[in-house]
Amino acid sequence: MTTVATHRALPDMIYEEVRARIVSGRLEPGQPVRQDHLAAELGVSKIPLREALARLESDGLVVLNPRRGFEVRWLSAEEAEEIFDLDRKSTRLNSSHTDISRMPSSA
């Protein structure tokens, strides 16, 4: 069971890392995502990387060009603002969850 949990967690971790690179601008719009290079840099195989890239594609952050591979998608100002707004909300939610989990239980 640990193997399945670890297998599922790895694409999620890769997704978060690549997404952060896109949002921060370290991976720029129009820049090709070189799977071999990125997999080596992250120390992962291409299979979980492809899973993460497929998720990023469904989120609209990368596009898959036939015979050329993935590249970072150009975002409109509204799309970029929406992503940053979601990140802010997620950060606040995670912060609230951490604060609640530190509260003593009333048993």
pLDDT in tens, 35-45: 999 999 999 99
Residue 88: predicted pLDDT: 64
For residue 89, the surrounding DSSP H or E stretch is helix 77-101
The full length of the chain comes to: 107
0.85 surpassed by pTM: no
Helix, strand, or coil (residue 76): coil
> Is-contact 46 36, C-beta < 8 A?
yes
Higher pLDDT, 34 or 89: 34
